[in-house]
Structure 1
Amino acid sequence: MSSSGVSGLGNSLSTTSSTSTSSSSDTSLDSDMFMQLMIAQLKNQDPTSPTDTSEYMSQLASLSTVEQLTNLNDSVSELQTSLQSNLALQASSMVGRTAYVESDSADLDTAGGTVKGMLDLDSSASDVSVGVYNSSGVQVDTIDLGNLSSGENAFTWSPDTSIAGGTYYFVAQGTAGSTSTSLTTYMGQNVDSVSISNGSMTLNLGNGDTASMSDVKRIS
């Protein structure tokens, strides 16, 4: 058979290449057709002028590449589906829990309620206290924490029923060495719901704020 037969075979493979994103079953059919065409050409080629074997090997290599790409696409699709399922499962487990996010404010739901917070210290500190202020800037309470070691240190504000519900502000201070310094507070907020977009989660918090997972210091 003349070289035009191999050319025709190449055209058939080119069509297969242009549809490499099709399903694996389609690729299987294309592979069977390719092999049938090749066998037919080998049987019917001119014995006095056989087709160069290297051309067939080149076509086989191209077909193998197409199949590998299709299989890779299928694997990536399966991985994406799995990741989305895992992300949704993780998101559902977040709802109703407490997320600690860097903030100087938190809501006291009702009189007699509690507010949770945390300090994350680079080094130990002494005489640590957290001042509590209302929305007018008036200090209504002080939380004495004493001496704290480095790392995460949780605290809870449980005011008496004379303190009304509302938004309160927390200012932490302590002494490191001989220097008095301000400390960063991470206030606990209830996770009301979780939004998923483009493979990332956003926590919708009880105070109306939102936070990404990178903003969260701890989930409890």
Structure 2
Amino acid sequence: MTTTSAVTNASNTSALSSANNASSAQSIENQFLKLLTTQLQNQDPSSPMDNMQLTSQLAQISTVEGITNLNTTLQSISSQMGLSQSIDATSFIGKSVLVQGNSILLGTDSTTGSTVTTPFGINLTGAASNVQVKITNASGAVVNTVNLGSMSAGIYSYDWDGKSSTGTAATNGSYSFTVTATDANGNAVTVNPLTFGQVGSVAYTSGGPVLNLGTAGTTSLSGVYKVFSTTDDSASI
């Protein structure tokens, strides 16, 4: 119900804006024509307005009207794009996504009793010869280090097995990770950590739709780096 209402309100706002712009353009045209008529009625008979002056003034009102109509058209297109984006945002509800962040959750599957973790991801801006991920616990201690080797630029997602560097099972809870990457010359390559979230709802703001991701926070549509084809089982831990 909330989504339908929000989309309807956006549509009504667009229609009202277009109507106001049309009214404004008509008002400008009426004022100009009234002024021109008054000017013609009160002109000096010995020195009447020549055709060049009349043509020039008519061209001016035509230009003003054209610009106003163009602005109205552009605003209408912008409103329609915003409405389309708002409608598209609802398709994310229930989906799992990767957004900027560096958290991993470790838990136990309530059905199978097996260890599960939320996926994590990286956004590598350039080719790297060595990519390394360090997973730390709430105290800041390094639990495991994952060497991903050489990689091309791109967005990748991974699943931690929930084990420490010694092979023992880590304690259930919240973890964080950092990523470092270097090229063949040892120079740092920019890489951003990505965290997992499940879209529970969509909020409509003046800046556009915002996806609510529960413990992962919120993000705009442009902040989504990857959408999983199906809801990941780890979303329930």
SS in 2 for 1:81: helix
Match 1:113 to one of 108, 113, 116: 116
SS in 2 for 1:185: strand
- What is the alpha-carbon root mean square deviation over aligned residues? 4.4
Identity %, equivalent residues: 28
Paired AA for residue 199 in structure 2: V
Task: Tell me, in whole angstroms, the C-alpha distance in 2 between the residues paired with 1:219 and 1:167.
Answer: 22
Paired AA for residue 55 in structure 1: Q
Change (3 A) 1:55 1:189: same
Match 2:199 to one of 191, 194, 197: 191
Contact 1:107 1:207 in 2 (8 A): no
Task: Tell me, in whole angstroms, the C-alpha distance in 1 between the residues paired with 2:179 and 2:45.
Answer: 92
Task: Tell me, in whole angstroms, the C-alpha distance in 2 between the residues paired with 1:79 and 1:25.
Answer: 18
Paired AA for residue 211 in structure 2: L
For residues 39-90 of structure 1, the C-alpha deviation after alignment (integer angstroms, 9 at most, x for no partner) is: xx79xx9998765323322332233133213312321331232122122023
Counterpart in the other structure of 1:6: none
Task: Tell me, in whole angstroms, the C-alpha distance in 2 between the residues paired with 1:51 and 1:123.
Answer: 72
Match 1:123 to one of 127, 130, 134: 127
* Structure 2 unaligned regions, length at least 5: 1-19, 110-114, 164-168, 229-237
Do residues 166 (structure 1) and 169 (structure 2) align?
no
Change (3 A) 1:168 1:65: same
Match 2:82 to one of 65, 81, 84: 84
Contact 2:117 2:161 in 1 (8 A): yes
Contact 1:95 1:193 in 2 (8 A): yes
Counterpart in the other structure of 2:217: 209
Task: Tell me, in whole angstroms, the C-alpha distance in 1 between the residues paired with 2:198 and 2:181.
Answer: 27
For residues 116-151 of structure 1, the C-alpha deviation after alignment (integer angstroms, 9 at most, x for no partner) is: 11234433445x6644443244555x4755534222
Contact 1:192 1:205 in 2 (8 A): yes
Do residues 93 (structure 1) and 100 (structure 2) align?
no
Change (3 A) 1:115 1:208: closer
| TM-score normalized by the length of structure 2 | 0.57
In proportion to residue count, which structure has more strand? 1
The structural deviation recorded for 1:156 is: 0.8
Paired AA for residue 160 in structure 2: W
Matches within 5 A, 1:60-71: 60-71=58-69
Change (3 A) 1:51 1:174: closer
Counterpart in the other structure of 1:157: 160
* Structure 1 unaligned regions, length at least 5: 1-19
For residues 173-197 of structure 1, the C-alpha deviation after alignment (integer angstroms, 9 at most, x for no partner) is: 6786596x89753222223333343
Paired AA for residue 203 in structure 2: S
Task: Tell me, in whole angstroms, the C-alpha distance in 2 between the residues paired with 1:198 and 1:115.
Answer: 32
Change (3 A) 1:177 1:29: closer
What is the aligned length? 192
| TM-score normalized by the length of structure 1 | 0.60
Paired AA for residue 188 in structure 1: F
The structural deviation recorded for 1:91 is: 1.9
Change (3 A) 1:105 1:208: closer
Task: Tell me, in whole angstroms, the C-alpha distance in 1 between the residues paired with 2:149 and 2:93.
Answer: 34
